[in-house]
Structure 1
Amino acid sequence: MPVHRSFERELAILESMSGRTPDEADIARLRRTLESENNYLVAKVAKLVAEHEVTGLLPQILAAFDRFLIDPVKRDPQCWAKNALVKALVKLGCRDAAVYLRGLRHFQEEPVWGGQSDTAGALRATCAQVLVECSELTEAALLNILLEPMLDPDKTVRIEAVRAVGQVGGVSSALLLKLRVLLRKEEPEVLGACFSALLRMQNNDRLGTISLVADFLDHGEEAASEAAFALAETHDSAAVQALIDRRRYGADPWFVSILDQAIAVSRTQESLEFLLGLIERDPRQAASALEALSRVYASSDVRLRIAQCVARSRSERAQQAFRQFFPEPAADL
């Protein structure tokens, strides 16, 4: 049988296994295909093994992962097999730190137009996260391991490393993340991950952390929107007050919109009252506040309160924005 037809037949058989419990013959086929040199087929098998949690194939998944780390550019371009295999290992409960350390330290430079590009970022990101669950590693050892991925060239890896440090918790983790923030030399998304990790930590200096993140609430800071939403997601009164104080200070229209959305996302009574007050007292700000509220609140009670504030504003601009963001609900047929 021609190679391409053999591949298509095998692929069709594997795809037919999705969504149904594999029988003994299916598992035997999965075991055989894990030994294939075709990285795409092995990736398909790994996804099926993870989907059905076929724990009996854990040794074969481990062997395949190691195999595709050898001569990887030729044998596993784009890391298709390794990415799927490491996710299967996680799903099957493998928590052997040595396995994920191999993945964390793997870089795969592949030829692209004009040079080379590393395709192993997603693999390193996954491994950084799962290492937190490897009980054999002490807190000190784990933080030492995560230092390098926090400086990884790939932004996704840095984000996942920051999240992993946050999950480790403790004073050392908090200091490490605060140092990363204070350097102010990171991309906004990575700083946002630092903000969220710090704000989620237990037994941390909460007010000090809120103040640290709130320092980025300036329209001149590229990470301002990341800081705003990190504060909002805490639903903490001090964090919400920091957002409201910054909103009262004034900003350009884009950042006003960001602040209003963040204040609404916090879903506190204080934030709701603040936005309702804006609608009623300052028609120029009504559209931004109404849009923010429309994205968060859908209840008829809140809609009624908003409508009353719009009516008391006596502003055509506010009424027009209300009709835009809170259209009349469709009548039941």
Structure 2
Amino acid sequence: MAKKGFEVQLEALDRLSEQPVAEWIEPLRAALRQRYNYVVAKAADLAARQRLVELTPDLLAAFDRFFEDAVKSDPQCWAKNAISRALAAFELQDAAPFLRGLRHVQLERVWGGRSDTAGTLRGTCALALVQCRDIPEVQLLRHLITALADADKGVRADAVRAIEQVGSPAASLLLRLRAEIGSESDKNEPEIPGACYAAVLRLDGNAALEWAAKFLEGEDDASGEAALAIAATHSPEAFALLRDRWNKSPDVWFSSVLLSAIALTRQSEATEFLLSMVEREAMRADQAIEALLRSMPSDDTVQRLKVLASRNARLERVFAENLKATARR
């Protein structure tokens, strides 16, 4: 009977699409009072999709309810995740629910032990806190620092994004500090320092290029993230920094990363630099061909590259193989 009731409630929510949105309020309000976390999650998602802000009190009540005996009442955090997304979409200004979500850890049984299923909830709440007007910046950054050291990689990435959204000089300095001191996990998760490099460059602009260029020296995965972050500024200064580093790099793998980053600066000088490598049949001309073709070049650049590569049988094969590979993406 319980399963039948669950299915009936889901079907009722599915049928709402057949009715005017104005008639959704009471059915969704009733659904948000249900004990089935999946039903509540679906109701919250529907409320968010239609921006039914009048359901905010009902969402808050349901949110509180699913923290009680959380593992049993809301396995996988389905309800809390959907409700937090809805409250964030409604731009709720009260920080208290998001702070509660940010602190929540939910350990559930898995094969061989227990696993935390609340990472998505904490990440959503970290980002939502930025919009709350009732929390001073210093206090907000305090909470985000904790999220920046979260055991869950996704939460740490969301914390970086949230700090960037704060957008203040203090936020930029905090991200610089995180990048400078690093973490043992950065070796296996280079995207976290990479997110810091990119965020600082977006906040501080070209003034941060020399700072970001320091992280190219390691010639490891994190250095690759730094190269791509620098390239994303699409500036002549970025091209110059990447080219200078390429001239000094003996590592074949990192050389290919730098050439890809050079192509992604989308500077005309960068395109000419890579084309000249192919024209001269330089030692790493094959890497230049791959970098150019992966950067979504103009038709004119592709044609010029094709002509230059055709003068050398090996480079012509490299061109054909990479052109085919990029066409499949």
Match of 2:292 in 1: 293
- Give the Å deviation of 1:23: 4.4
Is 1:259 aligned to 2:261, yes or no?
no
Of residues 298-307 and 54-63 in structure 1, the stretch that sits farther from structure 2 once superposed is 298-307
Give runs of aligned pairs for residues 59-98 of structure 1, distance below 5 A. 59-98=57-96
What is the TM-score normalised by the length of structure 1?
A: 0.89
- Give the Å deviation of 1:251: 4.0
1:283 and 1:315 in contact (8 A); partners too: no
- Give the Å deviation of 1:308: 3.4
Q: How big is the alpha-carbon RMSD for the aligned residues of Structure 1 and Structure 2? A: 2.1
Of residues 184-193 and 120-129 in structure 1, the stretch that sits farther from structure 2 once superposed is 184-193
Give runs of aligned pairs for residues 310-329 of structure 1, distance below 5 A. 310-311=309-310, 314-326=311-323
Give the whole-Å Cα distance in 1 for the aligned partners of 2:100 and 2:171.
Answer: 23
Give runs of aligned pairs for residues 34-49 of structure 1, distance below 5 A. 34-49=32-47
Match of 1:117 in 2: 115
Equivalent position SS for 2:21: coil
2:238 and 2:265 in contact (8 A); partners too: no
Q: Percent identity?
A: 44
Which of these residues, 166, 169, 176, is aligned with residue 167 of structure 2? 169
- Give the Å deviation of 1:298: 4.6
Match of 2:138 in 1: 140
1:283 and 1:317 in contact (8 A); partners too: no
Of residues 221-230 and 41-50 in structure 1, the stretch that sits farther from structure 2 once superposed is 221-230
Letter in 2 for 1:265: L
1:172-195 deviation per Cα after TM superposition (whole angstroms, max 9, x unaligned): 222222221111225211101110
Match of 2:202 in 1: 200
Give the whole-Å Cα distance in 2 for the aligned partners of 1:325 and 1:121.
Answer: 39
Of residues 10-19 and 133-142 in structure 1, the stretch that sits farther from structure 2 once superposed is 10-19
Match of 2:191 in 1: 189
1:145-197 deviation per Cα after TM superposition (whole angstroms, max 9, x unaligned): 21211111111111111221122223322222222111122521110111011
Give the whole-Å Cα distance in 1 for the aligned partners of 2:140 and 2:256.
Answer: 40
Give the whole-Å Cα distance in 1 for the aligned partners of 2:239 and 2:80.
Answer: 43
Equivalent position SS for 2:165: helix
Letter in 2 for 1:14: L
- Give the Å deviation of 1:200: 0.7
- Give the Å deviation of 1:210: 1.8
Letter in 1 for 2:143: I
Is 1:3 aligned to 2:2, yes or no?
yes
Of residues 171-180 and 50-59 in structure 1, the stretch that sits farther from structure 2 once superposed is 171-180
- Give the Å deviation of 1:278: 1.5
- Give the Å deviation of 1:287: 2.4
Match of 1:55 in 2: 53
Q: 1:215 to 1:19 in 2, by over 3 A?
A: farther
How many residues align? The count is: 321
Equivalent position SS for 2:115: strand
Equivalent position SS for 1:223: helix
Give the whole-Å Cα distance in 2 for the aligned partners of 1:162 and 1:20.
Answer: 41
Give the whole-Å Cα distance in 2 for the aligned partners of 1:194 and 1:88.
Answer: 27
Match of 2:13 in 1: 14
1:107 and 1:120 in contact (8 A); partners too: yes
Give the whole-Å Cα distance in 1 for the aligned partners of 2:77 and 2:265.
Answer: 39
Q: 1:210 to 1:93 in 2, by over 3 A?
A: same
Which of these residues, 99, 102, 106, is aligned with residue 101 of structure 1? 99
Give runs of aligned pairs for residues 153-164 of structure 1, distance below 5 A. 153-164=151-162
2:220 and 2:254 in contact (8 A); partners too: no
Give the whole-Å Cα distance in 2 for the aligned partners of 1:153 and 1:85.
Answer: 23
1:283 and 1:318 in contact (8 A); partners too: no
Match of 1:151 in 2: 149
- Give the Å deviation of 1:140: 1.8
- Give the Å deviation of 1:75: 0.5
1:95-127 deviation per Cα after TM superposition (whole angstroms, max 9, x unaligned): 211121111111111122222211111111111
- Give the Å deviation of 1:68: 0.7
Which of these residues, 128, 131, 145, is aligned with residue 130 of structure 1? 128
